[in-house]
Amino acid sequence: MKTYNVAVVGAGLVGKKMVEVLIERNFPFKELKVFATRQREEIISGRSFLIQKTTESSFEGIDFAFFAGTEGEKGASLEFGWKAVEKGAIVIDNGGDFRMDPKVPLVIPEINPEHLKNHKGLIANPNCSTIIMLMAVAPLHKKFRVRRIIVSTYQAVSGTGSKAVEELEAQVHQYVEKKPFGINVYPHRILFNVIPHIGNLSDKFQGYYSEEVKMIVETRKILDCPDIMISATCVRVPVLNGHSEAITVQFDNYPDIQQCREILSSSPGIKILDEPENAKYPIPIDVSGQDDVFVGRIRKNTALENAIDMWVVGDNIKKGAAQNAVQIAEKMIEMKLI
């Protein structure tokens, strides 16, 4: 089997998870390097890595460069992405800087791998909430044709990064010890609270935050459907890991519920957990760490014609970021695009 020189840029939650997933999935790497803003040694997935400072020369001889990206921040790919491509690397970018660039494919491998064929060296990972939603919606779209989507998300603090996880954990101790709450990462206390605010207010869609806009515009690009009507409300909740989404989908054609179940059951990367009578449905504490996206509460919508409701949960750091990026590289190898 051919092997590849691989680099991961970023050593936060997503970067470390990328390293873990590469090892876990037996990705055919010959050498695996980790780059970040400063040099240090760290143990990742039980192995010691010398994390090196990222420079242009870091990408000499690299076949795949995975950029971890950070939600709401400009990623290292802005500075080094296309320079890495010039050095001969295939760049797979988890950040949001190039997702809507018309020359950059935006790919979920189970859904639109054909978009990889005309890549120019840089491929974008969709936003975590978009990935989790479309894993469930896209297989049904192929059969019934989506007309509109209304989605509300319940997003874990890990989506913001390690500092947000630390803040939620610290607030638990502050509550128990009756100490003042430290509020630094979010505009409000996250413990015992929900915050309908992820990202910055959009100029394009009045009243929408950027996370909600991502779900709208990325979905249209991935499905090649610029006319799909989408409304999203994205909410941060005091959950450590795992994004949950309440999704209403209206189709052009009547979606038989049993047929929907059969389609989703046979779709790669999806697992059905739908026994509401036995209180069995996906919850983030169970889905965290899983490869698949879980779907439950599948039912006919009572307010819209040709519509269903679903409850969808996925690990936002794993499938919603690191694993999807690694799967893109695996698909490119499979399709002989490198």
Looking only at the bridges linking them, the beta strands covering 229-236 and 270-272 are: unpaired
Q: In 119-235, which residue ranges form alpha helices assigned H by DSSP?
A: 128-144, 162-176, 210-222
Cβ–Cβ under 8 Å, residues 19 and 8? yes
Identify the DSSP state of 195: B
Extract the tokens encoding 172: 């638990």
Token pair 């890549």 is found at 119
Catalytic residue among 119, 234, 243, 260: 243
Cβ–Cβ under 8 Å, residues 251 and 307? yes
Catalytic status, residue 225: no
Token pair 């996250």 is found at 190
Catalytic residue among 115, 128, 141, 260: 128
Q: How many CA atoms lie within 13 A of 35 on its CB side?
A: 22
Catalytic status, residue 173: no
| CA dist., res. 293 & res. 67, Å (int) | 23
Give me the helix-helix angle, 210-222 and 128-144, nearest 10°: 40
Of the candidates 201, 154, 162, 155, which has an alpha carbon nearest to the alpha carbon of residue 184?
Answer: 162
| CA dist., res. 114 & res. 290, Å (int) | 26
Active-site residue numbers? 128, 243
